[in-house]
Structure formats: C-alpha cells, structure tokens
Amino acid sequence: MNITDVRFAHRFDQVTGSAIRELLKVTAQPGMISFAGGSPSPDALPDDTVAELAEYVMRNDGKRLLQYGATEGYAPFVESLKSYVEDMLGIQVPAVLPVTGSTQAMDLLSKALIDPGDTVLVENPSFLGNLQCLKLYQANLIPVDSDDNGLLINDLEEKIRKYHPKMLYTIPTFQNPSGRTLSDERRKAIAALAEQYGIIVAEDDPYRDLRYEGEVLRSIKYYDQGGWVMYLGSFSKIISPGLRVGYIAGDASVIRKCTIGKQSTDVHTANLNQAIVDQYIRRGLLPDHIRRICRGYGAKMRQMLEYLERFPEGVRFTHPQGGLFIWVEMPEGTDTIQMLKKAVDRKVAYVPGTSFCADGGHLNTLRLNFSNSTPEQIETGMCVLNDIVTEEIM
C-alpha cells in the first residue's frame, strides 16, 4: 500500500491549519506592511538581557537545567511564578503549572476536560489558535454574543441553560481579535454563573499588562469562589514568544489532570526557558520593561486609530485601551477576503475577520495589529487601506 492511502484521525476532519500562520508566510515577503499576525515589536524583545540571563542560569545551575525536570516545573520558577501570579491577581491560587506557552495551557485544559461532542462556549470572534485547539478535541463550539463591554451575560446564561457546556473560553482583557475588554460587573457575573452551573471558565489573559489607557480591572479569577475559573497566563507578550513560557493557575485537581496530560505531551517545559523567566521575575525586571513597551505600543495604537477616524462613513472599529489589535467592521455586503487580495497586491496585509468566528460568516470584518509595524509603516499602510476601503464601499 502507498502512504497516500493513510487514514488520518477524524479530529482533523474540520481542521486544515491556522489561516493566520499560512498568511504569515505570505507577509514575510520583502516590502510587505503586515497588520496581520500578533507578534511583538522587535524593539520590545530584550535580546541582550536574555543573552545575559541565559548564560547566568547555565553557569549557576547548568547541570540541573540540562537534566530531566519535573513535569510540575523547575522548582525555583514554580515558587517565583506563584508569588508573581498571586501578587498580580491579588488572591491566593491553589496551584500553578508552568507550560510551553499559554497555547499549551489551552491544550492541556481541553485534554483534561473535553470529550468529543462536549459543548464549549466561545466569544465571537475569538482567538483562532485556541478555536483550532478546541476543534481538534472535537468540541461543539457555541458562540456567545458580545458588545463593547465584552460577553453579554443574558446571552451567556441562555446558552448555558440550552447547551449545558463543559467550559467557557474567554479572553477578557483587550480581546484577540476584537480589542474589547470585559467590564468589571460582567467579570463578577461570569464567576457567579460558573459556580452556579458548574462550568470551567478558561480565562485567557495574555494581554493584561499591555494597558495604555484606563484603570486596571480585577480578573474573573479574583471573583471565583467555587474554584471553577482557570487562569491562563503568558510571558510571550511581555518578555518573548520565542521562549515559549506560559502558565495555568487555579484548582489543584484540575492542574493535576493537566500535569498528567503534560507528562505524555512534552514531559516538562524546557528548564533553561523556565530559569530565564524566573530570573526576569526575581530581578524585578518586568515592571520597567512593561512600562517601556506600553509607551511604544500605546503610541502606535493611537496612531492607527487616528487613521481609522479618516476612513469613509459606515466603517466602524473598536477603541481598545490596550493589547495588540483593533477590530474593524465594514458595511454589510463587503467581502474582506476579496479585499485582502487587493491589499496584498499593494503590499498591505490584515486578517479577514471570518477566520475568528466559530460560526463562520462575518465577511465584512477584519483584524488589524499595530504592535509589529513602525510608525512609518502604519502611516503608509493605513493610507493604502483607506484607498482600498473607499473604493470598495463607494
């Protein structure tokens, strides 16, 4: 028999790869201005510091770092991480597990909880990497509606009663892709609903520290009395995505199942990478670094919003207080996939919004990223987009 006859597992029946990641390949062409992707700005990546820290931790604890580690994490990092999370959230957490980027937190949580056919409620739109993760666990994805203050609690409760979901997946702060932030009142309400109905909330909060305006909000986890909220964090947006270090914090029995799942996934997150982030935390390097990158990102966000203000009437967009993304809604009937071809011809890229929608459709939407472009690129790229959009809807 020929290998072309191989039968792949059914979990792949509706998954064909990440549209963003395929797109990123095209956008690597020279001269392309990419508002696709969600990468940090190169000048936000602390290469000199990490070079120093990498050498330091290897000289200091090299034999241990190169040996097999515990699935539960490199002990000094588990300690510093727990304090860091507790300080940040203002609560005690029963357990933390270092993972290989917060994408792995979602993978392990799904592995622990989701049987094929289980319902998971998701925002609409939502982060497509984690939608793909849930599809590979053959979850039944049910979208919940949002407005500018995030998830609509009435719609959420209605869908909980109707579908008896196992989990709610939400990005409450500077959501990907919408840039929206869930209000404090709704955070409380979600924690209460989770306990009332016995639903795990996966609170995915990688953008939390990238706030350029407004007041810091409590996490959903903060309001969690029953232990149903699992907090997913990442150092990808505040130190480096290439190091692949994130964490999951919350109930010990759920963390334990994630740990068992992790044993046969990658045994443990690389010790060297955990030790580098550990030093970053212990040396108190994060606050200054975050302040510095927020200054740069905030300026870029405001610049992009100014250009959007000049777009033709009928184009709506979100006004985030932080994060990496702005969500744009064109008039009904616009097709942003068709429009992307014109944009790419003129060397500008974005992600069509339909990719982020569990129910498909929403062809008139698109996501813009501002963090990974220079002010000059934002100026040029937004003028090109304005031209194309004007042409499209006039």
Binding positions for a second copy, 14-33, rule CB under 8 A: 15-18, 21, 25
Binding residue for a second copy, selected from 23, 34, 69, 324, defined by CB under 8 A: 69
Q: How far apart are the first and last CA of the chain?
A: 57
Q: Centre a 10 Å sphere on the Cβ of residue 136 and count the other Cβ atoms it contains.
A: 16
For residue 173, give the nearest of 157, 159, 190, 161 by alpha carbon: 190
Binding residue for a second copy, selected from 23, 35, 46, 169, defined by CB under 8 A: 46
Binding residue for a second copy, selected from 4, 161, 309, 394, defined by CB under 8 A: 4
Report which secondary-structure segment, H or E, holds 48. helix 47-66
Sheet order of strands, 246-250 included: 95-99, 246-250, 229-234, 200-204, 167-170, 119-123, 140-144
Q: Shortest distance, CB of residue 48 to a second copy, whole angstroms?
A: 7
SS3 201: strand
Identify which of residues 109 and 308 has a Cβ nearer to a second copy in the complex.
Answer: 109
Identify which of residues 274 and 354 has a Cβ nearer to a second copy in the complex.
Answer: 274
Q: Is 371 in the site for a second copy (CB under 8 A)?
A: no
Select from 96-104, 183-191, 293-301, 350-358 the region that touches a second copy (CB under 8 A): 96-104
Identify which of residues 135 and 187 has a Cβ nearer to a second copy in the complex.
Answer: 135
- Core vs surface per residue 247-279: b (16+ CB within 10 A) or e: bbbbbeebbeebbebbeebeebbbbbbbbbbbb
Tell me which residues in 128-147 interact with a second copy (CB under 8 A).
129-130, 132-133, 136
Identify which of residues 83 and 196 has a Cβ nearer to a second copy in the complex.
Answer: 196
Binding residue for a second copy, selected from 39, 126, 354, 355, defined by CB under 8 A: 39
Q: Centre a 10 Å sphere on the Cβ of residue 177 and count the other Cβ atoms it contains.
A: 30
Total residues found in the chain within this entry: 394
Select from 64-72, 322-330, 352-360, 373-381 the region that touches a second copy (CB under 8 A): 64-72
Phi, psi angles (nearest 5°) of residue 152: -85, 120
Tell me which residues in 311-350 interact with a second copy (CB under 8 A).
none
Alpha-carbon span 105 to 303, nearest angstrom? 34
Report which secondary-structure segment, H or E, holds 263. helix 252-263
Quick check: 123 and 146 in contact, CB under 8 A?
A: yes
Select from 56-64, 82-90, 326-334, 345-353 the region that touches a second copy (CB under 8 A): 56-64
Q: Shortest distance, CB of residue 69 to a second copy, whole angstroms?
A: 6
Phi, psi angles (nearest 5°) of residue 325: -135, 150
Select from 65-73, 146-154, 168-176, 353-361 the region that touches a second copy (CB under 8 A): 65-73
Q: For a second copy, what does the binding mask look like between residues 200 and 229, x meaning CB under 8 A?
A: x-------------------------xxx-
Residue type, 161: R
Tell me which residues in 159-198 interact with a second copy (CB under 8 A).
166, 195-198
Tell me which residues in 100-129 interact with a second copy (CB under 8 A).
100-101, 103-104, 106-107, 111-115, 118, 129
SS3 70: coil
Tell me which residues in 251-280 interact with a second copy (CB under 8 A).
251, 253-254, 257, 259-261, 263-273
